[in-house]
Amino acid sequence: MSGDAPRGSVLRREYAARAADYDRRWAQYVERSLALLRPHLVDVDLGAVLDLCCGTGGLLPRLHAWNARFSLYLGADFSPEMLLAARAKLFSGAALAAADVGALPLRSACFDTVVSASALHYWPDPRLALAEAARILRPGGRLLLLDWSRDPLSMRLLDLWMRIARIHYRRMYSRDEAAALLAGAGFSMARESRGSAGGPWRMMALEALRRG
């Protein structure tokens, strides 16, 4: 992540420490949150896919289970330790890369689908990150953005508690705030869904198309 060195350094250390047991500790959250993407991905030809901030690669086996076809899968993350954990999930046609969301080491217009799950709330500059997503997508390409939703009262209270407890994240967004960020980056909203990731977590999945 770029543009916020102190916060980014703390987050790197946290994910380095969490990587080995992340899948076990967050199994329910990952399962239930990624399930919100299923209607957007099941039995769909995705072309070349970038899994932006892929973490331990939890999306990849689900694409296979959902019969989501792709010509290429690239999982990108800023944490070497999380990428190391993701390697065990790789199969033919899939690869991983270390990358900063604000400066992706990828040529323009080379992907058909970008998916980012539970990462928006960490991004120090979401406008820059979404502009990069738009840059590497071909015209008409799809972005699926899954993240916490600040709209329910329970999530606003959770947001306040996490601030008090000094949990490290940048910001929790409402649906309209996230949609405005997408529009500003050159995306048009296509459809959306909402749901729970278990416990207090309420999620939103926004599907948007790159204009132009």
Calculate the CA dihedral of residues 108, 113, 118, 123 and round it to 10 degrees: 10
Q: What is the pLDDT of residue 92?
A: 84
| Sequence spans of domains, the chain | 5-210
Q: Which fold has domain 5-210?
A: Rossmann fold (3.40.50)
For residue 70, the 8-state DSSP code is: -
| pLDDT exceeds cutoff 90 at 4 | no
φ, ψ (nearest 5 deg) of residue 46: -100, -10
User: Which pTM value belongs to this model?
Assistant: 0.93
45 CB-contact burial (10 Å; exposed 0-12 / middle 13-18 / buried 19+): exposed
Per-residue pLDDT tens digits for 31-78: 999 999 999 999 999 999 999 999 999 999 999 999 999 999 999 999
pLDDT category at 93 given cuts 50, 70, 90 is confident
Q: What integer pLDDT is reported at residue 81 of this predicted model?
A: 95
Amino acid at 8: G
Q: Is the pLDDT of residue 3 over 90?
A: no
Residue 14 is predicted with a pLDDT of 83
Give dist(CA 191, CA 185) in Å, integer. Answer: 17
Rounded-to-integer distance, Cα 63 and Cα 70, Å:
9
> Rg of the chain's alpha carbons, rounded to an integer?
16
Cα gap 128→65, rounded to integer Å: 32
Q: Are 19 and 11 in contact (CB under 8 A)?
A: no
CA dihedral sign, ordered 135, 140, 141, 145: positive
129-172 pLDDT, tens per residue? 999 999 999 999 999 999 999 999 999 999 999 999 999 899 99
